[in-house]
Structure 1
Amino acid sequence: MKFEGAFLKVALITGQLAKDMVERFSRDSKVESEVISLPIQVASLMNAAYIAGRLRGYPLEGFDLILVPGLIKGDIRVIEDSVGIPVFRGPKHAADIPPVLDNIGRIELSKEVPACELLSLELRMRASKIFEEASHRRDLIDRPGNFEVRGLALGVDYPMRIAAEIVDAPLLSDEEIAAKARYYMESGADIIDVGMIAGGGRAEDAYRAVEAVKAVVEAPISIDTFDPEEVKAAVEAGVDMVLSASKSNLRRLSSILDEQALVVVPGEAYVEWPPDERVKRLEKLLAEAEELGVKKVLADPVLDPTMSPGLTRSLVAYHLFRERNPTTPLFMGIGNVTEMLDADSVGVNALLACMASEMNVSVALTTEVSDKARGSVRELSKASRMAFTAKVRRSPPKDLGLNLLILKEDRFRDHPYPRNLEEQVKVVWAPQPKPPRMDPVGCFRILLDRDEGSISAIHYHGGLDKPRLMVKGKRAEDIYAKLVDLNLISSLRHASYIGYELAKAEMALRLNRSYVQDEDLFAGSYEHS
């Protein structure tokens, strides 16, 4: 059931401890609401029957609907039958009350699913619809600056496409190339790029690598090389795009290409040209490519690493090129920045994707060479969707139902600390404990299997050097419960230690961080600076 949110009065049901917090968050919404605090300390301990009994006879005149805590147990229809007013599940956390109230007219409230989950799903579906509809518009393909590459529409009127490079492909086996191609597609790549080795001379490997990718994906394939012989072999294998052409190889490449798209750069080696000189050289080469009959061209002013040689100047070149050439598709190598910056890639990718989208970049290329850049394809893919959705909505990229918040949140959902409680109870500060005694049942070595995405707890009995048993799982809680069921832990200190280490291991797996038993998960991070 949907309501007109601006004309509603909503009753918000909660317990004693959360009353002040619910009232504070509800004031952030434009929808009129009133908090009804029932005589129970913790709201999560309420159930539907309890709320129905407490509200029976309560003065509810003037309320249009009631929202109960999202996680209460029981069928909330009994509350509605008791009070005669529509009752639905609200959000799980008080911090989500404002967006839920403000979107009541846009989401279908439920008696089974918490409203925050419905809101998140609705926003994600809207963002996905905007992106997918724009991605598949066939009426735009014949406009200047648009073309098709193996069924994929790209250009100035389409969302930014993500190309993922298989770096040093000639050094990999066919199986390794295929595995990387599948992984990148699962991560959200639109184009698989075969990265060759500087210096060229590996035409057979170029052919082999393109064939290996074609065997497992149907997406467009590009090849990253300046060597015309490698390009020729890749074209024979069925490549769809070539990176890159410069003054030295443009004429030769133009004679090799058929319907392949071509990325043009100002030069093969970095030269400290001012932005306007970089753009002029690129424009001259693009004009030459057109004269040579190359029909599908993307311009790449080249994105430079930060500080050396300098990101800002290259961004100025992109911006200047876009102002002077509004209908020429742009190509941007974002991996040049993420790989050369010791910072979490998720924020770097999000910011660069938004900047690229502002300049209407058609293809963004990234890599996952270093461990710190692992996950960049997935991050850049989501960031591209966020940026495009925000552009269509003419709003900043926030509250879209999509986000790249990993370690931080848009709003805290924890309960406020009851400072006055310290005046009512004895407070004991916990010192660092003494080293525990060896558990007579045995000890554990905990390791991650990153390929499988699992955690292994390897059990050693007594003083034995060889393990007796391995318990595997994807969640710390599951492994811990199994260890207890198997009677492999006999002391409380050991139990708390294993629980802590397994939770650390699960967090490391989810966050792509190193896990070393008995070491701090965030050693060296800003939290300890």
Structure 2
Amino acid sequence: MLKILIVTGQLAKDIVLSQASKASKETGHQVDVLVLPIQVAALTTTSYIAKALSSMSVKERGYDLIMIPGLAIGSADEITNALEVKAVKGPKQAADIYDVLTQADFSKLKPDKPADEVLAADKLEKAKKTLQELEDALIKSGKFYQVGKLRVPLEPPPIRVISELPEAHAWSKEDLLQEALRLISSGADALSIGFEAGNPRPDIVHDVVKFLREHVDVPLAIDSVIPSEIKSGVEAGADIVLSIDLSNLEKVYRQVRDKLCITIPADVSKGFVPSSPEDRVKLLSSIIDRAKELGIEKLMADPILDAAINPGFTKSLSAFYMFRLSRRDVPLFMGVGNVVELLDADSVGMNALLAMAALEVGATMLLTVEKSNKAKGSTLECSLAAKMASIAYVRKIPPKALGIDLLMLKEKKLYEVPIAVNNAEILQADEAPRREHADPQGSLKISVNHKKGVIEAYYIGRLGAKLIEGKTAKAVLDKVLSLGLVSTIGHAAYLGRELEKAEIALKLRRSYLQEENLFQDKVKLLKELSTS
């Protein structure tokens, strides 16, 4: 066991003492805390800490490791040189000391980098190693379909993500390519190209698929049940066919024999999909057997995941599980887009849970779609979630503390940094409306351009008309100030508030309306829904 000294200041001492005591009990290390005669140790220098510890004869106390605040200015090597004891930087926040003491490999802690950053980088590297080992094992096993350059596993993990380009016929080629490249950069392993249901357009299908085939290097799927469109898409270079059912199998099997075919339990021409899981599995199995008889070798099964409540998510999910039990010879394909699109809740948590469910029932490919605004980002979310599921499966642990996560709006830990008020007068701020006087220098209209990924500030005033674009509130405000476009403190403060709101809206892909709230008060909504 090690003898460790943690250095802190007056303001954080209670948190540090609590964290150190908890960690000491769990690890068996002797963890002492030395409180310097300063309020905030993180704002001091390593030179000051070295002199202070030397004056307190810390060198003679036999410590194996000295840990200083992660934000201390300078290198902890100064302390190592002065005391001849290894000194490293601890975490930036005192609330993370327990995590560092219980999880970190002390030999990897650094004198110039906060320990929480070292720990995060180490976890990320381990996650990358696990994912690479999975890919290596997949190649070695040979249990995969080769689709272009993509290996689609016959069993998870890993899980591949295919992202839909809906209504591709309605896009200009420039916009279609831009969106395709965005989805690929968001983690799509393949792209599915969708068209208008029930309206055959084989010529347009051929044109779109051929265009994308010439410009992207990932597998392409033709998402259609119309035989003429399937044939046209395959001829133009599609690698995957969504979806093969009773209505089209006998009409297209010659053209799709060497493609990856996703089968569904349906006869779309009659609008028929069995409602019970048992009937879905039975029909799907019979379609697969017939497809094999016709010479189609690369087959995946999609029992169809339904929306929550109506027609019913859990019932449809059970069909996946039942199919997996009865047909281990055919990998599962799961489309999660309908579940996300047909539930008014944030997509990130849904996609995370759906990816975990996919792995549990044995699916090796997830289909997602970003048709509505609330579903934007689903490709990235599914990609990260699939990786989380794979890592958790290999390590045989719940999907947490993996080195990667999908915590976007919430945090695992709330950091609250105390302020030393030193007998300051405490004043209560109210929300009473305050009349803002117009800035004689001019006015600015703030907007968010999601397509370009920028915040826009349009100025009109004494200095003419100017449009400022930037990706962050700070960048835009700094430019406004440097150009002298504001002349009052009130106007500058107002711009700061609005630009920060605009940046949040840009990151979350929310609507931004100047002087309007970004978020609805859900507590107020709940109260309005209360019944007697």
| TM-score, scaled relative to structure 1 | 0.93
1:251 corresponds in structure 2 to 250
Q: What is the distance in 2 between the residues matched to 1:98 and 1:328?
A: 47
2:127 corresponds in structure 1 to 127
CA 1:359–1:470: 2 relative to 1, 3 Å: same
Following superposition, the deviation at residue 365 of structure 1 comes to 0.3
After superposition, what is the alpha-carbon deviation per residue over 1:223-280, rounded to whole angstroms, capped at 9, x for unaligned?
1111111111111111111011111211222122131011111003354521111111
CA 1:206–1:526: 2 relative to 1, 3 Å: farther
After superposition, what is the alpha-carbon deviation per residue over 1:476-519, rounded to whole angstroms, capped at 9, x for unaligned?
12322332232222222222111111111111111211111100
1:177 corresponds in structure 2 to 176
Following superposition, the deviation at residue 427 of structure 1 comes to 2.6
1:44 corresponds in structure 2 to 42
- The code of the aligned residue for 1:388 comes to S
Following superposition, the deviation at residue 175 of structure 1 comes to 2.1
**Matched position secondary structure for 2:78:** helix
1:495 aligns with 2:489: no
Q: What is the distance in 2 between the residues matched to 1:51 and 1:127?
A: 36
Q: Relative to total residues, which structure has the larger helix share, 1 or 2?
A: 2
- The code of the aligned residue for 1:308 comes to N
Q: What is the distance in 1 between the residues matched to 2:192 and 2:318?
A: 26
Following superposition, the deviation at residue 470 of structure 1 comes to 2.5
- The code of the aligned residue for 2:48 comes to Y
1:509 corresponds in structure 2 to 506
1:23 corresponds in structure 2 to 17
After superposition, what is the alpha-carbon deviation per residue over 1:173-198, rounded to whole angstroms, capped at 9, x for unaligned?
32222122111100000011111221
* Contact 1:141–1:148, Cα closer than 8 Å, also in 2: no
**Matched position secondary structure for 1:27:** helix
1:3 corresponds in structure 2 to none
- The code of the aligned residue for 1:25 comes to Q
What pairs up with 1:31-430 in 2 under 5 angstroms?
Answer: 31=27, 32=29, 33-60=31-58, 61-105=61-105, 108-137=108-137, 139-140=139-140, 142-143=142-143, 146-154=144-152, 155-267=154-266, 268=268, 269=271, 271=273, 273-416=275-418, 424-430=423-429
1:11 aligns with 2:5: yes
**Matched position secondary structure for 2:180:** helix
Q: What is the distance in 1 between the residues matched to 2:447 and 2:136?
A: 45
CA 1:73–1:177: 2 relative to 1, 3 Å: same
**Matched position secondary structure for 1:468:** strand
User: Which of 517-526 and 44-53 deviates more?
Assistant: 517-526
**Matched position secondary structure for 1:56:** helix
CA 1:17–1:357: 2 relative to 1, 3 Å: same
Following superposition, the deviation at residue 433 of structure 1 comes to 3.9
Following superposition, the deviation at residue 138 of structure 1 comes to 5.3
CA 1:417–1:79: 2 relative to 1, 3 Å: closer
Following superposition, the deviation at residue 133 of structure 1 comes to 2.7
Q: What is the distance in 1 between the residues matched to 2:179 and 2:415?
A: 38
CA 1:408–1:315: 2 relative to 1, 3 Å: same
CA 1:448–1:216: 2 relative to 1, 3 Å: same
Q: What is the distance in 1 between the residues matched to 2:201 and 2:433?
A: 60
Following superposition, the deviation at residue 403 of structure 1 comes to 0.6
* Contact 1:200–1:230, Cα closer than 8 Å, also in 2: no
CA 1:453–1:249: 2 relative to 1, 3 Å: same
**Matched position secondary structure for 1:215:** helix
**Residue of 471, 474, 477 corresponding to 1:474:** 471
User: Which of 103-112 and 274-283 deviates more?
Assistant: 103-112
CA 1:106–1:35: 2 relative to 1, 3 Å: closer
Following superposition, the deviation at residue 140 of structure 1 comes to 4.6
* Contact 1:161–1:362, Cα closer than 8 Å, also in 2: yes
- The code of the aligned residue for 2:181 comes to R
Following superposition, the deviation at residue 377 of structure 1 comes to 0.3
Gaps of 5+ in 1: 1-6
* Contact 2:156–2:359, Cα closer than 8 Å, also in 1: no
Gaps of 5+ in 2: 527-532
After superposition, what is the alpha-carbon deviation per residue over 1:77-134, rounded to whole angstroms, capped at 9, x for unaligned?
1111111110111111122222222233276111222111111111112112211332
* Contact 2:257–2:297, Cα closer than 8 Å, also in 1: no
CA 1:270–1:390: 2 relative to 1, 3 Å: farther
Q: What is the distance in 2 between the residues matched to 1:24 and 1:195?
A: 57
1:4 corresponds in structure 2 to none
Q: What is the distance in 2 between the residues matched to 1:468 and 1:107?
A: 58
**Matched position secondary structure for 1:320:** helix
**Matched position secondary structure for 2:216:** coil
Q: What is the distance in 2 between the residues matched to 1:282 and 1:73?
A: 65
Following superposition, the deviation at residue 328 of structure 1 comes to 1.9
Following superposition, the deviation at residue 302 of structure 1 comes to 0.1
- The code of the aligned residue for 1:380 comes to C
* Contact 2:205–2:233, Cα closer than 8 Å, also in 1: yes
Following superposition, the deviation at residue 448 of structure 1 comes to 1.4
After superposition, what is the alpha-carbon deviation per residue over 1:389-409, rounded to whole angstroms, capped at 9, x for unaligned?
010010111111101101100
2:434 corresponds in structure 1 to 434
- The code of the aligned residue for 2:260 comes to A
After superposition, what is the alpha-carbon deviation per residue over 1:165-223, rounded to whole angstroms, capped at 9, x for unaligned?
10011222322221221111000000111112211421111111211221221111111
**Matched position secondary structure for 2:243:** strand
CA 1:14–1:443: 2 relative to 1, 3 Å: same
Q: CA RMSD in A?
A: 2.0
Following superposition, the deviation at residue 157 of structure 1 comes to 4.7
**Matched position secondary structure for 2:357:** helix
* Contact 1:194–1:223, Cα closer than 8 Å, also in 2: yes
* Contact 2:42–2:71, Cα closer than 8 Å, also in 1: yes
Q: What is the distance in 2 between the residues matched to 1:280 and 1:521?
A: 49
Q: What is the distance in 1 between the residues matched to 2:95 and 2:362?
A: 35
Which runs of 4 or more aligned residues in structure 1 lie more than 6 Å from their structure 2 counterparts after TM superposition? none
- The code of the aligned residue for 1:75 comes to S
* Contact 2:11–2:418, Cα closer than 8 Å, also in 1: no
Following superposition, the deviation at residue 26 of structure 1 comes to 2.8
* Contact 2:300–2:332, Cα closer than 8 Å, also in 1: yes
**Matched position secondary structure for 2:215:** coil
